[in-house]
Structure 1
Amino acid sequence: MLTLRSLLAIMALTLGLMVSACGTSGGTVGARDAGVATQAQVDTSYALGSSDRLRVTVFGHPTLSGEFEVDGSGSISMPLIGQVRALGLSTVELENALAESLSDGYVLDPRVSVEVINYRPFYILGEVGRPGEYPYTSGLTVQNAVAAAGGFSYRANKRAVFIKSIDSNEEIAYDLTPSTVVKPGDTIRIGERIF
């Protein structure tokens, strides 16, 4: 009888461990999903700016759909409704603004989708082979940006990078690591090393 109790206790303990392991695994998946959700929030909160190229789809209305560029004044020019302000808006906010404008006597219950197909360029200065303006690609890092600009010069400081974002008036120094990211419109400056 004592061995039966021991066997039941071991089975209960094993079952308890299995349940807690499943709970831990679920927590890990939840954390991973939360990380994905956070990344999606970062992507959707991207503020549109001049030179961003957008694909606007008005479902069921191909003549109103197409590719549009945010001009220097921060607007896009749409058929029927004309100039629509895009500067500083997220793609979701622009979708809502376009749907509201189209529903004002043009389209019954419009469904609008906006996606960025070409982001505004980034700029790289300082100790690189070819300083200048370059097209932004998703997931761009400083190391990729330097490679696109012809690599480091022999005088380059390869430990730090100065980045000025488009919505800031000052540059910030960062450690130059493989994961140092570049955002659309950033100005990157590679400084000179001190011997």
Structure 2
Amino acid sequence: MIRVLSLVVFLLIMSLRSSYANEKYQLSAGDVIRISVYGEQDLSIDSVKIDDREAFDYPYLGEIDLSGKTLNEIKNIIYSGLKGDYLVDPKVSVSIVKYRNIYVNGMVNKPGGYEYQPGLTVQKAISLSGGVISKYRRSAKIYHIKASEFKKYKDYSQDELINKFELDMKNEAASHSIINSGDTIYVIASFW
């Protein structure tokens, strides 16, 4: 009985933590959301992938800007737009179907994009990419670029980026640091 109760409490805490994270989560290109309006099939959308323009056309309301908005803000925009002219009291919900990827590059076994999961740490992201290549484990240095900072690095070549990181030792990422969707992890290492 105590085990079952402990499991229920644990699941409740994880659910609350996940819903709190979703309240603060800001949408951006690559996220996929679902919009449901109770009893209104024409106004419900199973899947909207947010593209680079970070906006989409919604029935009756036209283009809705999603850039930097939370799920709750999108829900309120749709609710306000539909209330009165179209529906008396619309029951709107907006949820994440799929988060945008995180990226792990550099001296890892499988560099590339991986689906974000709430609570993801630098170490877990590196594990998703197969870990640091064994011959570089001792000299590996890990750097974390947040999605919001990525634009200032986008014009750097791979070599320029490595040089910038090597000169900036104080910004190495701790393995337990939390990462968010759209973030990039770079693993830089030398053979000696």
> Is 1:78–2:58 an aligned residue pair?
yes
Tell me whether 1:164 sits opposite 2:145 in the alignment.
yes
Give the residue type in structure 2 aligned to 1:190.
Answer: V
List gaps (5 residues or longer) in structure 2. 1-14, 154-164, 166-170
Which residue is equivalent to 1:21?
none
Partner of 2:189, secondary structure, is: coil
1:126 corresponding residue in structure 2? 106
Matches within 5 A, 1:145-184: 145-153=125-133, 154-156=135-137, 160-168=141-149, 169=152, 172-176=171-175, 179-184=176-181
Q: How does 1:45-56 map to 2 (within 5 A)?
A: 45-56=24-35
| Displacement of 1:40 | 4.9
What residue number does 1:190 align with? 187
Q: 1:82 to 1:167 in 2, by over 3 A?
A: same
Question: Helix, strand or coil: the match of 1:139?
Answer: coil
SS in 2 for 1:106: coil
* Distance in 2 separating the partners of 1:105 and 1:39: 34
Output the CA distance in 2 between the equivalents of 1:144 and 1:161: 13
Task: Work out which structure has the larger RCO, using CA pairs closer than 8 Å and 6 or more positions apart in sequence.
Answer: 2
The 5 Å alignment of 1:127-142 reads: 127-142=107-122
1:61–1:159 Cα change, 3 Å? same
Aligned counterparts of 2:91 and 2:19: Cα–Cα separation in 1 = 21
Q: Which amino acid aligns with 1:117?
A: V
How many residues in Structure 1 have an aligned counterpart in Structure 2? 161
Secondary structure class of the residue paired with 1:175 = coil
CA distances 1:120-162 after superposition (whole Å, capped 9, x unpaired): 1111111101212222122222222222222211214577421
TM superposition score normalised by structure 1:
0.70
Share of identical aligned residues, percent?
27
What's the TM-score once normalised by structure 2's chain length? 0.71
Equivalence map 1:36-51=2 (5 Å): 40-51=19-30
Q: Secondary structure at the match of 1:174?
A: coil
**Number of the residue aligned with 2:74:** 94
1:106 to 81, 86, 102: 86
Tell me, in whole angstroms, the C-alpha distance in 2 between the residues paired with 1:159 and 1:139: 23
What is the distance in 2 between the residues matched to 1:40 and 1:110?
Answer: 22
